[in-house]
Amino acid sequence: MSDYNLDLHRQAANTIRGLTMDAVQKAGEGHPGMPMGMADVAVVLWTQFLRHNPQDPTWPDRDRFVLSAGHGSMLIYSLLHLSGYDLPLEELKRFRQWDSKTPGHPENFHTIGVETTTGPLGQGITNAVGMALAERWLAARFNRPDHAIVDHYTYVIAGDGDLMEGISQEAASLAGHLGLSKLIVLYDDNRITIDGTTDIAFTEDVMARFAAYGWHTQKVNGHDPLAVKAAIESARAEGERPSIIACRTHIGYGSPNKQDTSGVHGSALGDEEIVLTKQALDWPTEPLFYIPEAARDFMKMDGRFQSEWEIVWENYLVNYPEDAKRFKQFLNGELPAHWDDILPTFEVDKSMATRASSGQVLNAIAPHVPYLLGGSADLTGSNKTDLKGEAALAKDDFSGRYIYFGVREHAMGGILNGMSLHGGIRPYGGTFLVFSDYMRGSVRLSALMGEPVIYVFTHDSIGLGTDGPTHQPVEHIMSLRAMPNMTVIRPADGAETAVAWRLALENKSGPTSLVLTRQGVPNLDRSKYAAAAGAAKGAYVLSDAPNPQVLLLATGSEVQIALEAQEKLAEKGVAARVVSMPSWELFAAQDAAYQESVLPTSVTARVSIEAGVTLGWERYLGLSGTAIGLERYGASAPHKDIFQNLGLTADTMVEAALALLG
Amino acid sequence: MSDYNLDLHRQAANTIRGLTMDAVQKAGEGHPGMPMGMADVAVVLWTQFLRHNPQDPTWPDRDRFVLSAGHGSMLIYSLLHLSGYDLPLEELKRFRQWDSKTPGHPENFHTIGVETTTGPLGQGITNAVGMALAERWLAARFNRPDHAIVDHYTYVIAGDGDLMEGISQEAASLAGHLGLSKLIVLYDDNRITIDGTTDIAFTEDVMARFAAYGWHTQKVNGHDPLAVKAAIESARAEGERPSIIACRTHIGYGSPNKQDTSGVHGSALGDEEIVLTKQALDWPTEPLFYIPEAARDFMKMDGRFQSEWEIVWENYLVNYPEDAKRFKQFLNGELPAHWDDILPTFEVDKSMATRASSGQVLNAIAPHVPYLLGGSADLTGSNKTDLKGEAALAKDDFSGRYIYFGVREHAMGGILNGMSLHGGIRPYGGTFLVFSDYMRGSVRLSALMGEPVIYVFTHDSIGLGTDGPTHQPVEHIMSLRAMPNMTVIRPADGAETAVAWRLALENKSGPTSLVLTRQGVPNLDRSKYAAAAGAAKGAYVLSDAPNPQVLLLATGSEVQIALEAQEKLAEKGVAARVVSMPSWELFAAQDAAYQESVLPTSVTARVSIEAGVTLGWERYLGLSGTAIGLERYGASAPHKDIFQNLGLTADTMVEAALALLG
């Protein structure tokens, strides 16, 4: 420890404080307090421990660093700039400006070196649990004696807000359960939140809570570099438990008038106070954005860690060529070439829930996509997400391929994001569709980041029956459709479900929500109806009639109702076309000619049916069509009674069609 | 303790087990395991402690009982029936059937005696925190020496799933912080979840965690009635901390083949196993739904507790007539008669964020609605939710009217629901609109239950500026509109904001989301434009033109853009009408004639603008209109740059209008 240069440390930390104050002041907005308070901790971590390579930010075995308290973004921008990432000082001077690389909160899809997008509190630390889980899982699969090709830490800086959020508590409990000992959280214990001191709302014993989760806990003075260094060393030495180190810090460290106040949390200090602070820190007041060369040299990171790893990797290539090939397959996410040989087919006309079809498809795919890893939030049997013959991950055994997330939907979402961000894994997770609400914060981040997480949302409507309205999604399908970059697929039968899984796996630029029934639906006779391959275009003519007078639009379990209505209309001499619309997003991506071929502008008599809110259906119906759906919550009863009593029937469709046709 | 009749206890507990098994078997679906396991605990609680009156389920000072593990609904239905509520045995025999009073999960709006709607895990215990908070707040305001008119306990039965959920962890932390000592949680520690034993995912030290939150903790054998009784007595005697009692139970207690298995959690036992279980319990196998008179008598509750309270209340009426009047005002939620005297007006053309207008309106209203109690999830200054001159609630002081919820959005929602359900309080809570995602599980329950919680969602679009896409809601307004029984109001200026608050307070049948800007918007000159009173109809003609050729539709901060577009179109000789549409739900409630008067069918050239997803706008545009909005996430930049760069401008509207007009 004694060889740690405290003068260089001080210069580096003050450089971060100066960059932070100046950038926030220039932007006029931002959060200077946290970077100023955690600068000491961050400098110790980045200079003494973090194994990374600014020249190759995608090096697979780099340590992961997550700034969970994302509002303190100037901390990570300063660290990235100083350590040598492609983030020029000019970008720091453009903090929070249009198209700069320094947005208000860190965005991994926008700024090289940022591992995940943070800001919504609790998400970063949860992503980190996913990253640490991914590391452990890949290590269990690929490391060989003297060939530890997967062997890195995941470090987090988290604040009070992160730890107050429920998602982080769920994630911490699971991390403790799984013994993710290479996860190290540096808790910025500054006792200040936006509303004031933490004692106005947050007086629990945080360390005791984490100990109860099975974590290794320490407390240090966050402004004592040697103490911080020793604590991180102890955390790394801990082989059984994840670690949290409460770093007692002063928010806005150095500011004579604002340190330790909520005023410095989220507002610029003002020119005058910045001068006073720099003076108090014994730091040049000019130039702005001052970086002494000594500090830059101290923070600079070369490629030495990656070089060390490359040697191991080269040996691995020689000694374990098959494993190396497989490892690359995992990292690249290579998909099977011949889907038709893999995907199951389904017995025609047999009644089968699409969740059951999904389970069969998943199990057919799993052997061919060995990096597929997922689980359920304590609804395995209901979601049909289990992989037959694969064990669940346990503290002492990561050889399996299934995760019992517990009743922790929000953490599941954040962990799936972290697994995906880590690389080498294609994650999926299941719960009831209604509980997509519980995890919406994380699901949105999947979409915003473009992470290809697969969400398996079963029990997708009133069709789940007697569990009643608390469990019956009504608004959820449309709410997911409203989320940019989310692909929602609600298949009508087994064949469409197989297509849906293929599409989900092929979608690498964003998440997919598979929306599946609890109740049985008939596997459609594709010799009578159009092939399910049409589902890949989002919507397709499932069953046509010559010169259709009316279009019947439906998704999922309501497609069978539309087909029944079509027959009834035919009996009355009305030609109706049935369009199955499993995915609005995929349909919107088709060209205008295809869209017109499915939904001809000339046919304005249109009736849709979906067991959910009708808001949004006007996109395909216009003002002249009729949407059959629900403008209310469901009810507890056998599902057929609910469909009947709430008017989701073929007869209702027929009546609506006839009314439109006059 | 020795006078507790263990034989009657056994009969009552077995009656509950029998009713549960038989009802679930008859329904074919349900969750028998928990009621069978917790029957002993529940019988002790309901016979020895619970102060309630089945003849008057609305008695304000009754103890509150919350079955947080709502899947075990047959437990509460059995308890309600046996203790004498209006829930006939016939209803238990119609468990989970259409229109029965015994839905799959307890619904307070459907079944008398049920205090809240549970099933989504973690919500019930969080509601209970709100109820206990409400009790404490009302007690602080109204109790007088020897006149404790508000003095009751809140009891919860919670399961593993409840305690795994983040929402319950947030709520437990706040309950500990506030020292809600009259909250007593009976934790069904049965070590079984749907996926298997809890040790597959939940190995934390739950009691240590609650101790870390500042709770009083105990562990008992949940099948030892005297031990349970003693533990509840200890919990009641605890004067500083909320209590949790871990009741070690056997799920499916008595079933020879299914006790202690996840198989009995959520499935009927089967006729054969039911017989075996009844035999093992030394219980008659017939008739089904067997209730011995002795058990019924043992469980029966008369009005004695309420009668005791009535005496205190009568004295209170005499000795504190003004307080009594005020107490009734609180319970009845009486609103001011003369809003015009109360609501502020706003300086015309001054730029002012609607969150700021909202803060002024709230503070103008607060003295006239003294039972209005709320707070923010650590964004008080941003949400403008503080009440000037009112202290925040603290462990030792509940005299104030403000709640620092901490960074705990989901718990805030559940606590607001609990406060509302308790009665005597009109609750509100603030956070950023984007974080409505974090609390959506609770918000949905406000809507499902019809609880008139007021949500103050500020920072409502890309208009929040440099904080960037993680903080910029895009899909949230439409997603809230998709939620049945949620009233969304997005006012355009201060005057509409005042109307919005009035509407929110007048809406007593469901929640209201006030959607408010961070950035300034001009307070419209109402001598030039239509009066803001029109906002009460959801949409109104704000600025007309003779024989309008095009309709310009807008909400909130985009209304000013529509007005600018109207002027630009006028310069080009195009007559455009601007319609301000703050609330789609309120507009939908108007008669067809009014709707037609605002949006004449004859005018098909329609352009909408809203800084969010366009999905849904087709409801008012049809297929021939143009929606200007966002099909992507926002960006970090000053808000004017974002509006400009993403095309949310008057020029875009003008172009769209001209294109439609050919």
pLDDT per position as a tens digit, B259-292: 999 999 999 999 999 999 999 999 999 999 999 9
For B268, the token pair is 């009927």
What's the confidence (pLDDT) of residue B1?
Answer: 45
**Interface with chain B: mutation pick from A164, A206, A633, highest number of B CBs within 10 Å:** A164
Q: Do B615 and A616 touch (CB under 8 A)?
A: yes
B377 with B428: CB under 8 angstroms? Answer: no
Q: Which of residues 123-182 of B touch A (CB under 8 A)?
A: 160-161, 164-170, 173-174, 176-177
Q: Which residues contact B49 (CB under 8 A, 6 or more apart)?
A: B63, B153, B155, B232, B236
Picking from B173, B202, B482, the nearest residue to A177 by CB comes out as: B202
Minimal CA separation from A228 to chain B, in Å:
24
Q: Do A615 and B478 touch (CB under 8 A)?
A: yes
Report the DSSP beta bridge partners of residue A454: A428, A512
**Residue showing tokens 């608390």:** A470
What's the confidence (pLDDT) of residue A1?
Answer: 45
Minimal CA separation from B326 to chain A, in Å:
29
Q: Do A166 and B161 touch (CB under 8 A)?
A: no
Sign of the CA dihedral with B87 first, then B89, B90, and B93 last: positive
Q: DSSP assignment, residue B335?
A: P
Minimal CA separation from A155 to chain B, in Å:
22
A307 with A313: CB under 8 angstroms? Answer: no
Q: Which residues contact A566 (CB under 8 A, 6 or more apart)?
A: A543, A545, A552, A576, A577, A578
Contacts of B392 in chain A (CB under 8 A): 200
Minimal CA separation from A8 to chain B, in Å:
32
Q: Do A119 and B470 touch (CB under 8 A)?
A: yes
**Interface with chain A: mutation pick from B203, B215, B387, B610, highest number of A CBs within 10 Å:** B203
Picking from B105, B469, B482, the nearest residue to A470 by CB comes out as: B105
Cα distance between residue B466 and residue B243, in whole Å: 44
Q: Do A437 and B434 touch (CB under 8 A)?
A: no
Q: Which of residues 600-639 of A touch B (CB under 8 A)?
A: 601, 613, 615-616, 618-619, 621-624, 630-633, 635-638
Cα distance between residue B419 and residue B512, in whole Å: 16
**Residue showing tokens 């947005």:** A103
Cα distance between residue A480 and residue A387, in whole Å: 26
Query: Least CA distance to B408: which residue of chain A?
Result: A165
- Catalytic residue (one of A107, A115, A409, A496): A409
| Residue numbers of chain A with a pLDDT score lower than 70 | 1-2
Contacts of B169 in chain A (CB under 8 A): 166, 169-170
Using a CB–CB cutoff of 8 Å, tell me whether B482 touches chain A: yes
Cα distance between residue A389 and residue A69, in whole Å: 40
Contacts of A264 in chain B (CB under 8 A): none
Using a CB–CB cutoff of 8 Å, tell me whether A589 touches chain B: no
Task: Please state the separation of Cα B586 from the chain's center in Å.
Answer: 21
pLDDT surpasses 70 at B478 = yes
Q: Do A378 and B201 touch (CB under 8 A)?
A: yes
B476 with B488: CB under 8 angstroms? Answer: no
Contacts across the A-B interface (CB distance below 8 Å): 350
Query: Least CA distance to B402: which residue of chain A?
Result: A200
A377 with A404: CB under 8 angstroms? Answer: no
Average pLDDT of chain B to the nearest whole number: 97
What's the confidence (pLDDT) of residue A2?
Answer: 59
Could you report how far apart the first and last alpha carbons of chain B are, in Å?
Answer: 87
- pTM to 2 decimal places: 0.98
For A331, the token pair is 């990292």
3-class state of residue B544 by DSSP: coil
Cα distance between residue B311 and residue B294, in whole Å: 31
A461 with A478: CB under 8 angstroms? Answer: no
Q: Which residues contact B431 (CB under 8 A, 6 or more apart)?
A: B376, B377, B379, B383, B409, B412, B438, B439, B456, B457, B458
Neighbour count for residue B509 (Cβ, 10 Å): 9
**Residue showing tokens 């000594």:** A294
Cα distance between residue B112 and residue B205, in whole Å: 37
Picking from B194, B379, B637, the nearest residue to A381 by CB comes out as: B194
Q: What is the pLDDT of residues B599-620, one digit of tens each?
A: 999 999 999 999 999 999 999 9
Mean pLDDT within B156-178: 98
Q: Which of residues 237-266 of A touch B (CB under 8 A)?
A: none
Q: Do A468 and B107 touch (CB under 8 A)?
A: yes
Q: Do B212 and A204 touch (CB under 8 A)?
A: yes
For B501, the token pair is 């608050």
What's the confidence (pLDDT) of residue A31?
Answer: 97
| Residue B389 main-chain phi, psi, to 5 deg | 80, 0
pLDDT confidence bin for B193, thresholds 50/70/90: confident
- Is there a cis peptide before residue B287, judged by omega within 30 degrees of 0? yes
Q: DSSP assignment, residue B245?
A: E
Residue B331, burial from CB neighbour count under 10 angstroms (0-12, 13-18, 19+):
middle
Picking from A103, A484, A636, the nearest residue to B475 by CB comes out as: A484
Q: DSSP assignment, residue B550?
A: E
Strand A426-432 with A454-458, pairing: parallel
Minimal CA separation from A602 to chain B, in Å:
12
Cα distance between residue A565 and residue A493, in whole Å: 18
3-class state of residue A498 by DSSP: helix
pLDDT confidence bin for B2, thresholds 50/70/90: low
Query: Least CA distance to A194: which residue of chain B?
Result: B378
Q: Which residues contact A148 (CB under 8 A, 6 or more apart)?
A: A139, A312
Residue A525, burial from CB neighbour count under 10 angstroms (0-12, 13-18, 19+):
exposed
Q: Where are the alpha helices (DSSP H) in A250-346?
A: 271-280, 293-299, 304-319, 321-332, 339-342
Minimal CA separation from A315 to chain B, in Å:
37
Strand A183-189 with A243-248, pairing: parallel
Contacts of B30 in chain A (CB under 8 A): 466
B542 with B563: CB under 8 angstroms? Answer: yes
For B603, the token pair is 């005018």
Minimal CA separation from A380 to chain B, in Å:
6
Q: Where are the alpha helices (DSSP H) in A438-491?
A: 440-449, 476-481
Q: Do B96 and A637 touch (CB under 8 A)?
A: yes
What's the confidence (pLDDT) of residue A3?
Answer: 85
Q: DSSP assignment, residue A144?
A: B
Q: Where are the alpha helices (DSSP H) in A143-190?
A: 160-164, 166-178
- Ranges A305-319, B184-198, B559-573, B635-649: which has the least confidence: B184-198
Q: Do B408 and A636 touch (CB under 8 A)?
A: no
Mean pLDDT within B523-531: 97
Cα distance between residue B614 and residue B634, in whole Å: 14
pLDDT surpasses 80 at B471 = yes
Using a CB–CB cutoff of 8 Å, tell me whether B203 touches chain A: yes
